[in-house]
Each structure stands twice: as C-alpha cells, then as structure tokens.
C-alpha cells in the first residue's frame, strides 16, 4: 500500500534553533516528492519539489533532501523564526494513472521565543 509517514508528529523548538523533519514513503514507482508548509487556517504552500534524480533542494532557510534508495526525505529548517510555526506536509507522487498524490499527515512545528 502506498503510504507516506512523517515524524515527529509535533515539535517545539526555540527561535533561532535548527530542526529536521522526516518523511518515509512506500510509494512505488516514484515520480516526485514535495514539501508543503501550511499555516493555521490557510491552504498548503509549496516549499520544494524533487524528482528521482535530485537529492537536495533549497528554498531560503529550508533545505530538503531525498534518498530514493531508502525512500526517505528530510526537511531541514535553519535559524528558525516564529513565522515558521506551521504544519509541514510531505507529499509523494507516483507514476501511475490519474493524478493521485499521497499526503503525509504532517508535522506540526511550534517555534517559541
């Protein structure tokens, strides 16, 4: 069964600290992996998208990595800010009919001052 598992479920860090969020998937065959940020009460916003051949991609203080062999991805946030408080969702797309994306349940990050 195609699944996307994220860990931890929630995380609290101090402003200015770094953190890493994890995503493991079982989707096969694989097309691409995306990380979204979702602020409370808003729709998800794309941070990065990586294909099979890419193993790292950055977007400002956000850096995503992908290991297609182990089917793992991580999202590293550097020098966290209060505005980073949000849910971070890992989404995997498989090479299959239709447009189905497999969504993880998200990691809720709280950045405190």
26 and 104 Cβ atoms separated by less than 8 Å: no
- Is residue 87 a contact partner of residue 109, using CB atoms and an 8 Å limit? yes
44, 37 in Cβ contact below 8 A?
A: yes
Residue closer to another protein, measured from CB, 2 or 20: 2
* Residue selected from 33, 77, 86, 104 as contacting another protein according to rule CB under 8 A: 104
Q: Is 108 in the site for another protein (CB under 8 A)?
A: no
Least distance (Å) between residue 110 CB and another protein? 17
CB of residue 105 to another protein, shortest distance in Å: 5
What is the total residue count of the chain?
113
Q: Using CA atoms, how far apart are residues 70 and 50, in angstroms rounded to an integer?
A: 15
Give, in order, the Cα–Cα distances in Å from 105 to each of 45, 54, 79.
Answer: 15, 24, 24
**CB-nearer residue toward another protein: 11 or 102:** 102
Footprint of another protein on residues 26-45 (CB under 8 A)?
A: 31-32, 34, 41-45
- Which residue, 45 or 79, is less far from another protein as judged by CB? 45
**Residues that bind another protein in the complex, under the rule CB under 8 A:** 4, 31-32, 34, 41-46, 49, 89, 93, 98-106
């Amino acid at each position: 069964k195609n699944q996307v598992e994220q860990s931890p479920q929630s995380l609290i860090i101090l402003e200015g600290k770094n953190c890493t969020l994890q995503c493991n998937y079982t989707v096969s065959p694989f097309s691409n992996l995306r990380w979204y940020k979702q602020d409370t009460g808003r729709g998800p916003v794309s941070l990065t998208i990586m294909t099979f051949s890419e193993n790292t991609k950055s977007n400002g203080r956000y850096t995503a990595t992908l290991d297609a062999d182990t089917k793992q991805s991580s999202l590293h946030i550097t020098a966290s800010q209060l505005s980073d408080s949000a849910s971070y969702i890992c989404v995997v797309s498989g090479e299959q009919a239709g447009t189905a994306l497999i969504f993880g349940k998200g990691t809720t990050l709280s950045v405190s001052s």
